[in-house]
Amino acid sequence: MDDELLFLSAQQAGRRIREGELRVVDYVTTVLDAIEASQATLNACVTINREDARAAAAVADIAVDAGVKTGPLHGVPVTVKDMVAVAGMPNKNGSLTCENDVPTEDAPAVRRLRAAGAIVVAKTTTPEFGHKGLTDSLLTGITRNPWNLERTSGGSSGGAAAAVAAGLGPLGVGTDGAGSIRGPAATCGIVGLKPTRGMVPHPARSDPFGNQSFTGPMTRSVGDAAMMLRVMSGPDESDPWSLGHGKVKKPGFTGDDLSGLTIGYAEKMANPEVAPDVVANTKACLDLYASLGARIEPVHDDFDWAEEAGRVLYQSAIHHAVAPLLPEWADRLTPSYMAFAEWGAQWSAGDLLEAQAARGDLFARVQGLFTRFDVLMSPTTACTALDAEFDATSDVMINGKACGITRQSWTAYQYPFNLTGHPALSVPSGFGEDGLPTGLQIIGSWNADPVILALGSILEARRPWADKHPTREARGL
């Protein structure tokens, strides 16, 4: 199987398709074959769209042959997390309870990607209802990390991250409710963006106004992420936040000159420990920005990131969602999902209201940081990938110390910006001592998605990662 073809960026593939150098049917078939071959090792996909994807590819080739004007993603394969609606494809949410849920309409992001010419090749795995930072479920089993099959691909967009990292399509649609794009991106060595609230429409039937989940791109390059964001962005009636979206901010720096840019560096957030190799890789990235003129200043260690308030909101929502499923499905729900629901039962209505107020206070505090700093940076995860079979209800061990469950330890850098709505980008920062990827998180003010993407692109140009691939054996090839 052609690795050169599998690891084309979307921009490279699109150019070759437009210029007649690459037939879409050949390209899409190669990706589909790789997806199927990798299932025994990675298990990144839950539904493979072979027949429809090949039919769409044939139509795409006809359009090129006829000289029809095509969209920016014409003929490019995309995978979609199995919590995002694709018309005619099951939307299983990693749950046995949803096996018969087949949407009749695309989610806004998918509709726009298809309008730009992208071809949906598969739905990717997720833990049950995206409830944790590892990707396994009773429905699909374990999704593994292509860099080391004994480790997790992260979660809850772990299937999307594993697929993109393994060359199973250059583009993945993920969702991020508490780091579910950024964590897997860091864990699998790819790019993942949680956009500003409302930048990409994300319908949330349960609470469209207080929702803390986002739809965003997962790619191997910053350029592809930026292109996906452009295609998916814009108002949609399904998301009230998208309707009143503010003016998008452009980078205030020119080229590589970062003089005058001030970066606030948070080495820790709610986590008590961070692995030395993660710190070393993060500081190497910061040193690069400093060499281009940026000023690096620490964010004080006692900054309140509202971890408990975030947990109240998250776990009480799970408790509410599980309750109607219990009579029929109690013995067929993921144990960690049930445990999170039980934890959520302890919170009262008063606790929930106080947590909502704390969320507002956190937003004000983070806004205050952006009066001092142009951007914030941190590690994306406090250590490299956990074991594939790690119990999400257990303490994570970092530097030999028990540090609490994943959101208090491994992924503590991620959830605050779901609560506040600020855009946050994870880009590869290097590899840890165990050979697994680490990530740098870049956070911007509201609507500054282009700014953080530009900073990611600068890092990518000087510390490239897209030429580094997992082994063919891990990918089942």
C-alpha separations of 387 from 153, 286, 289, 397, 455 in Å: 9, 29, 33, 11, 31
180 assigned to active site: yes
- What range does the domain containing 67 cover? 3-462
The encoded tokens of residue 442 equal 């870049």
pLDDT reported for residue 284: 98
pLDDT reported for residue 274: 98
Residues 443 and 417: beta-carbon distance below 8 Å: yes
Predicted confidence band at 280 (pLDDT cuts at 50, 70, 90)? Answer: very high
Q: Catalytic pick from 180, 233, 242, 378? A: 180
Position of tokens 């691909």? 153
Q: Catalytic pick from 81, 123, 132, 268? A: 81
Q: Residue 476 domain-assigned?
A: no
Q: Residue 475 domain-assigned?
A: no
Residues 180 and 423: beta-carbon distance below 8 Å: no
pLDDT reported for residue 305: 98
Q: What is the mean pLDDT of the segment spanning 48-58? A: 98
pLDDT reported for residue 116: 98
- pLDDT at residue 204 tops 80: no
Predicted confidence band at 477 (pLDDT cuts at 50, 70, 90)? Answer: confident
Determine the angle formed by the axes of helices 50-65 and 10-18, rounding to 10 degrees. Answer: 50
pLDDT reported for residue 209: 81
N- to C-terminal Cα distance for the chain? 7
Q: What is the mean pLDDT of the segment spanning 137-159? A: 98
Residues 223 and 451: beta-carbon distance below 8 Å: no
pLDDT reported for residue 110: 98
- pLDDT at residue 28 tops 80: yes
81 assigned to active site: yes
Q: Residue 138 domain-assigned?
A: yes
Q: Residue 473 domain-assigned?
A: no
pLDDT reported for residue 75: 98
**At CA 347, angle to CA 325 and CA 344, rounded to 5?**
35
Indicate the pTM of the whole model: 0.97
CA distance 449 to 216: 11
Residues 6+ apart with CB under 8 A from 300: none
Q: Residue 474 domain-assigned?
A: no
Q: Residue 39 domain-assigned?
A: yes
CA distance 157 to 188: 11
The encoded tokens of residue 318 equal 């799970």
pLDDT reported for residue 211: 83
426 assigned to active site: no
Q: Residue 401 domain-assigned?
A: yes
The encoded tokens of residue 122 equal 């598969």
The encoded tokens of residue 77 equal 């394969």
CA distance 50 to 28: 9
| CA dihedral for 173, 183, 454, 7, sign (positive or negative) | negative
Which of 411, 210, 176, 404 shows the shortest CA–CA distance to 320? 210
Q: What is the mean pLDDT of the segment spanning 368-372? A: 97
Q: What is the mean pLDDT of the segment spanning 310-336? A: 95
CATH number assigned to the domain comprising residue 85 = 3.90.1300.10
Q: Catalytic pick from 156, 378, 426, 445? A: 156
Predicted confidence band at 246 (pLDDT cuts at 50, 70, 90)? Answer: confident
The C-alpha torsion from 323 through 325 and 330 to 335, rounded to 10°, is -70
Q: Residue 312 domain-assigned?
A: yes
- pLDDT at residue 35 tops 80: yes
Return the half-sphere exposure (C-beta side, CA atoms, 13 A cut-off) of residue 132.
28
Residues 312 and 355: beta-carbon distance below 8 Å: yes
pLDDT reported for residue 203: 87
Please count the structural domains in the chain.
1
- pLDDT at residue 3 tops 80: yes
| CA dihedral for 155, 191, 88, 1, sign (positive or negative) | negative
